[in-house]
Structure 1
Amino acid sequence: MTTLNARNLSLDDVHRLLNFQEQYNGSFTPLLSLEPLTEFEQQELLQIWDDFRHYLTAGKVLEGQVKLLTVAPLLRLAGFYRYPIHISLEEGIADINITDEDTIITGRLDILAVKKTHQTTANVSFWVLVIEAKNSQVEAFTGLPQLLTYAHKSLEHQTSVWGLTTNGLRYQLVYIQQGNPPTYLLMPELNLIDSERLTQLLQVLKAICKVIG
Structure 2
Amino acid sequence: MTQSIQAKTLTLGDVKTKFSLQFAESEELFREWIDDLPEITEVEKRYLDKVKAGYANSADYPMIEDTVKMVVLAPLLFLADLYLTPFHIEAEKSVELVTVDEGILVRGSIDVLLLIESFWVVAIEAKRAQYSVEAGLPQLLCYMLSNPNPDRPTFGLLTNGSNFRFIKLIKQDTSQYALSYEFVIDRANDFYEVFRILKRLSGIISSYSTST
Q: Sort the TM-score into its range (normalised by shorter chain).
A: 0.7 to 0.9
Q: Is the 8 A contact 1:25 1:186 kept in 2?
A: no
The 8 Å contact of residues 27 and 187 in structure 1, kept in 2 or not, is answered as no
Deviations 1:7-58 (A, max 9, x none): 2111111111121110114379832520110101001111111111112122
2:67 to 48, 65, 68: 65
Matched residue, 1:200: 193
**Which ranges of structure 2 fall in alignment gaps of 5 or more residues?**
95-109, 207-212
What is the TM-score of this pair, normalised by structure 2?
Answer: 0.78
Paired residue secondary structure (1:14): helix
**In structure 2, distance between residues paired with 1:171 and 1:143:** 11
Alignment of 1:109-128 (within 5 A): 110-114=112-116, 127-128=117-118
Matches for 1:1-213 after TM superposition, within 5 Å: 5-26=6-27, 30-31=31-32, 32-60=35-63, 62=65, 64-90=66-92, 110-114=112-116, 127-135=117-125, 137-154=130-147, 157-213=150-206
Task: Kindly state the Cα deviation for residue 60 of structure 1 after the two structures are TM-superposed.
Answer: 3.8
Assess, with a 3 A threshold, how the Cα gap between structure 1 residues 53 and 109 changes in structure 2: closer, same or farther: closer
**Change over 3 Å in CA distance of 1:27–1:168 after alignment to 2:** farther
TM norm structure 1: 0.78
Aligned length: 182
RMSD: 2.3
Letter of the aligned partner of 1:129 in structure 2? F
2:118 counterpart SS class: strand
Amino acid at match of 1:163: G
- Please say which of residues 139-148 and 77-86 is displaced more in the overlay: 77-86
Deviation at 1:90, TM superposition (A): 2.5
Percentage of identical aligned residues: 25
Alignment-mate amino acid for residue 89 of structure 1: A
